[in-house]
């Protein structure tokens, strides 16, 4: 199987130091395996993507000599593919319309004596599994069977989650009509023939959901590698939300070196970003090549 990797930024803001780590790791891993590296702009949540940010992100990548080996794919052009996948799931009874509001879901848990906890995700209680109970359809959910999903991460090792119990029937199309990240990423990874998903560790807990969805759609399973996160000064994950600064690209070699250090690469001296990358490939192969 010929290696095909990707970097899939959501253009909700410019890349920051943490996003460059994922971009660099995915690029190095593709090169170390003689593979191709694709960039996909995940602008499926259009209201959260300020116009022009995709161009900024692609410019930041280009400044680091990271350019897609194939034409960049924008998720905002992929509605038909997502609709077709959703229809297959609906036709097969694997997906169903849901009429619950967030308040109604909270009320179900409150009635079961589980108080609403801030930031704690509770599984969908399954209210609309057997029909809408006269309510109008809002979202579409995947029917998730109970059972442990076990998967392997090249860095984190064996991982397990009971998606049915911990997440429940998750959303594929939101009440506002926007495709859920889970559906878009699974459909596009398959459409682009991605063999290796290399991305930040903050997304590792999405992987079991994507595995369940992939199986429901009968799509092939990629390998996974989740990379270390860059932490902010307060120990929190660096993110656009906690004010991570946009990547400073006056000195792309320094930015790459900082990202490389997070990935455990030794210091590499190089006059240009392209040469830094070329020298980093054997170093990456030495620590991360798949036997
Ligand atoms: N678009 C997602 C993000 O920027 C990453 C998706 C992925 O790599 O699977 O957080």
Domains of the chain (ranges; CATH) run 4-79+183-287 (3.40.50.620), 92-173 (3.90.800.10)
237 has which bridge partners? 231
Q: How far is the CA of 77 from the centre of ligand 1 (A)?
A: 17
The reported pTM is 0.94
Q: What is the number of the ligand 1 atom nearest to the C-alpha of 199?
A: 8
Residue 57 CA to residue 44 CA, distance in Å, equals 16
Query: pLDDT, tens digit, for every residue of 212-232?
Result: 999 999 999 999 999 999 887
Least confident window among 11-20, 77-86, 270-279? 11-20
Query: Can you tell me which residue has the tokens 């998967």?
Result: 151
CB 204 within 8 A of CB 153: yes
Query: pLDDT, tens digit, for every residue of 235-249?
Result: 777 766 666 677 878
> pLDDT band for position 117 (50/70/90)?
low
Query: pLDDT, tens digit, for every residue of 185-208?
Result: 999 999 999 999 999 999 999 999
Q: Which residue has the higher pLDDT, 122 or 35?
A: 35
Among 10, 73, 229, say which to mutate for ligand 1: greatest number of ligand atoms within 8 Å of CB.
10
CA distances 93 to 141, 165, 216, 243, 283, Å, are 11, 20, 10, 43, 48
Q: How far is the CA of 76 from the centre of ligand 1 (A)?
A: 14
């Amino acid at each position: 199987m010929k290696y095909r990797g990707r970097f899939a930024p959501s253009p909700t803001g410019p890349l920051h130091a943490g996003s460059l780590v994922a971009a660099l790791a995915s690029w190095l891993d593709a090169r170390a395996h003689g593979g191709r590296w694709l960039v996909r702009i995940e602008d499926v949540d259009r209201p959260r993507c300020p116009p022009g940010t995709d161009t900024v992100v692609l410019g930041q990548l280009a400044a680091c000599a990271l350019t897609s080996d194939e034409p960049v794919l924008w998720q905002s052009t992929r509605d038909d593919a997502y609709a077709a996948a959703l229809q297959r799931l609906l036709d097969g009874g694997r997906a169903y319309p849901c009429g619950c509001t967030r308040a109604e879901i909270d009320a179900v848990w409150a009635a079961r004596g589980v108080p609403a906890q801030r930031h704690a995700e509770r599984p969908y209680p399954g209210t609309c599994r057997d029909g809408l109970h006269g309510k109008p359809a809002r979202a579409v959910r995947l029917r998730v069977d109970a059972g442990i999903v076990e998967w392997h991460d090249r860095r984190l090792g064996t991982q397990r989650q009971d998606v049915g119990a911990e997440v429940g029937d998750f959303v594929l199309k939101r009440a506002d009509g926007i495709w859920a990240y889970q559906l878009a990423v699974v459909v596009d990874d398959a459409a682009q023939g991605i063999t290796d998903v290399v991305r930040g560790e903050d997304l590792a807990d999405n992987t079991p959901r994507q595995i369940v969805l992939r199986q429901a759609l009968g799509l092939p399973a990629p390998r996974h590698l989740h990379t270390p996160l860059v932490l902010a000064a307060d120990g929190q994950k660096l993110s656009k939300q906690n004010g991570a600064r946009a990547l400073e690209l006056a000195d792309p070699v320094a930015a790459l070196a900082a990202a490389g250090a997070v990935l455990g690469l030794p210091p590499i001296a190089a006059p240009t970003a392209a040469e830094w990358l070329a020298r980093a490939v054997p170093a990456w192969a030495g620590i991360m090549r798949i036997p």
